[in-house]
Amino acid sequence: MFGLMVRFTCKDEAAAEAFDDLVTRTGEQIRANEPGTVIYTVHRVDGRPLQRIFYELYRDEAAFETHETQDYVRSFLTEREQYLASTEVDRLDFMSGKGVPGER
């Protein structure tokens, strides 16, 4: 397993709305085309209306690399910048869990 946790902070409410639309469109493509993407979730942060947290879990690092090369992901990476004030990325090394293949 290979994972990421990403915290995005949008510039303002209008940017957050446009970012959410972009995320929805991209997520549809990820669900339809990426069997190696095990979990791809997006969360609003309670009390922080401009923040979003993505939790992403891939079968392995190769599945993540495949994800990153998709045209819709590359478009997302470019288009998102106009809506964001900041981005923080943590790469995750899976230790244990429930409900995922290979759980320990």
**Domains identified in the chain and CATH numbers:** 2-91 (3.30.70.100)
Share of the chain above pLDDT 70, in %: 96
Report d(CA 62, CA 100) in Å as an integer. 17
pTM: 0.90
- Token pair of 43, please? 């969360």
- Residue 13 confidence (pLDDT): 98
Q: Mean pLDDT over residues 23-46, rounded?
A: 97
Average pLDDT of span 52-76: 97
Left, alpha or beta for 25 (phi > 0: left; psi -120 to 50: alpha)?
alpha
- CB-count burial class (<10 Å; 0-12, 13-18, 19+) for 20: middle
81 to each of 4, 10, 19, 29, 48, how far by Cα in Å?
A: 19, 9, 9, 19, 19
- Average pLDDT, stretch 20-26? 98
Write down the pLDDT at residue 103: 62
Summarize the confidence of residues 46-74 as an average pLDDT: 97
**Predicted confidence band of residue 94 (pLDDT cuts 50, 70, 90):** confident
pLDDT at 30 > cutoff 80: yes
In order of 77, 94, 104, the CA distances from 54 in angstroms are 14, 16, 23
